[in-house]
Structure 1
Amino acid sequence: MSFAVCSRPRNAAATRGAILDAATKRFTAESYDQVGMRDIAKDVGVDPALISRYFGSKEDLFRQVIDDCGSGQDLMSGDRATFGERIAHDLVYGPRKEGKLAWLLIMMRSSTSPKALEVIQRASREGFYQPFVEWVVGEHAAVRVRLAAGLMMGLSISKDLAHGLELSPEECEMLKDRIAVLLQGFIDG
């Protein structure tokens, strides 16, 4: 007498999501070179070949993790004339964004790896800087985008790391107003 082995149907989307979550945790905690596909597979309870089937190489998985942290495309989803005000308000009053901190940790831990650095640079260029420059347009758009990005990243990261701005309501308004003017100036040229 033989028995058929019944296997539970696999939910591809859920498995793919679990792999991506496990990879994000690994790349946030360890450098690119320290993370192995087998480690991620073990974390999820799947065969390493399944990771390759869903994502391709480790480099491709790493790129997907970076892309999943956010690209900044939402910065460009609005009227260019109100950019400074919108972004300044979010920088001062917006909630803490965990994906942003994960992105920073991943970048810091993995930037010593030539392979990872190439992926990071390509993802930043393709997913953020090039679209932002195209959105800003005009003379010296690339320089203005770098200035705006530096200001936004610096303020955002310092706020998140300090768990707030530690400013009075009046000082928060003053900061918001000044940031708005600076950012709009970078956008307008």
Structure 2
Amino acid sequence: MQYTNACESPTVGEPAEGAERRDARRRDKESTRRRILDAARRLFAELGYEQVTMRMIAASADANIALINRYFGSKRQLFAEVLAQQGRFPGVLDVDEAELPRRLAEYVAERLGSESDGPVLATLTRSSSSPEIHELIRDRVESAILLPLQARLSGPDARLRAGVATALIMGGGSLRQIFGPDSVGRHDHEVVVARLTAVFTACLS
């Protein structure tokens, strides 16, 4: 058998079972790391940063705290990794500038009427009051929402317009947490979208 690079070839003189054990350990490490990230993502979204403990994450991930410390270093670093793993503002901005008010309105209306929070906004809004991670939250909101939105806007004061729209988006998440899916009453979805479209149009124009 030929190997194309050093990563694929076993160590010279190493028994095949040794390589298999090493591969098994690597896969186990990757699996444990993924379980920890999944558990942390879920708990941070449900409870917010301050309410989540390393012990809770370890129990949910079926891993011990020492492994969390080894792989991530601290709860703050784990939180940063959770944010880094979550994608950019989910496809909302991938439209022409003229369509942005309507698309943003649809996104916020969907979140307001949803039975569950979106994981990204839920994590950000539930954790925003923690001073320990304030900088992480600010950087995430800026990189995921504010700056991409600003980049889509032409004309003067793009930062101001994007900032006001971002405030509405984040405020919608907070309102959803307080009042649940009845945050704007049982109005028709299109009625809510139409009103929000008018608001976003005013913000972005």
Superposition TM-score, scaled by structure 1 size: 0.70
Structure 1 Cα separation of the partners of residues 161 and 142 of structure 2 = 15
Q: 1:120 aligns with which of 116, 137, 143?
A: 137
Q: 1:103 aligns with which of 110, 119, 124?
A: 124
Matched, 1:133 2:156: no
User: Conserved in 1, the CA contact under 8 Å of 2:124 and 2:137?
Assistant: no
Structure 1 Cα separation of the partners of residues 73 and 66 of structure 2 = 9
**Alignment-derived partner of residue 62 in structure 1:** 79
**Alignment-derived partner of residue 183 in structure 1:** 200
Relative to structure 1, the CA distance from residue 180 to residue 33 in structure 2 (aligned partners, 3 Å threshold; closer, same or farther) is closer
**Alignment-derived partner of residue 162 in structure 1:** 180
Deviations 1:11-64 (A, max 9, x none): 45543331012223554536449734x653454233545435644554332112
The letter of the residue matching 1:79 is D
Structure 2 Cα separation of the partners of residues 105 and 77 of structure 1 = 26
Moved over 6 A (4+): none
Which range is displaced more, 63-72 or 115-124?
63-72
User: Conserved in 2, the CA contact under 8 Å of 1:73 and 1:128?
Assistant: no
Q: Computing the radius of gyration over CA atoms, which structure comes out larger, 1 or 2? A: 2
**Alignment-derived partner of residue 29 in structure 1:** 47
The letter of the residue matching 2:181 is H
Identity across aligned pairs (percent)? 24
Relative to structure 1, the CA distance from residue 177 to residue 93 in structure 2 (aligned partners, 3 Å threshold; closer, same or farther) is same
Structure 1 Cα separation of the partners of residues 101 and 48 of structure 2 = 36
Superposition TM-score, scaled by structure 2 size: 0.66
Relative to structure 1, the CA distance from residue 143 to residue 177 in structure 2 (aligned partners, 3 Å threshold; closer, same or farther) is same
CA RMSD of aligned residues (A): 3.4
Structure 1 Cα separation of the partners of residues 133 and 186 of structure 2 = 38
Structure 1 Cα separation of the partners of residues 187 and 70 of structure 2 = 52
Relative to structure 1, the CA distance from residue 32 to residue 175 in structure 2 (aligned partners, 3 Å threshold; closer, same or farther) is closer
The letter of the residue matching 1:166 is G
Relative to structure 1, the CA distance from residue 56 to residue 75 in structure 2 (aligned partners, 3 Å threshold; closer, same or farther) is farther
- What number of residue pairs does the alignment pair up? 177
The letter of the residue matching 1:15 is T
Deviations 1:56-96 (A, max 9, x none): 55433211223456542522112221111222233335662
**Alignment-derived partner of residue 86 in structure 1:** 103
**Alignment-derived partner of residue 3 in structure 2:** none
The letter of the residue matching 2:80 is R
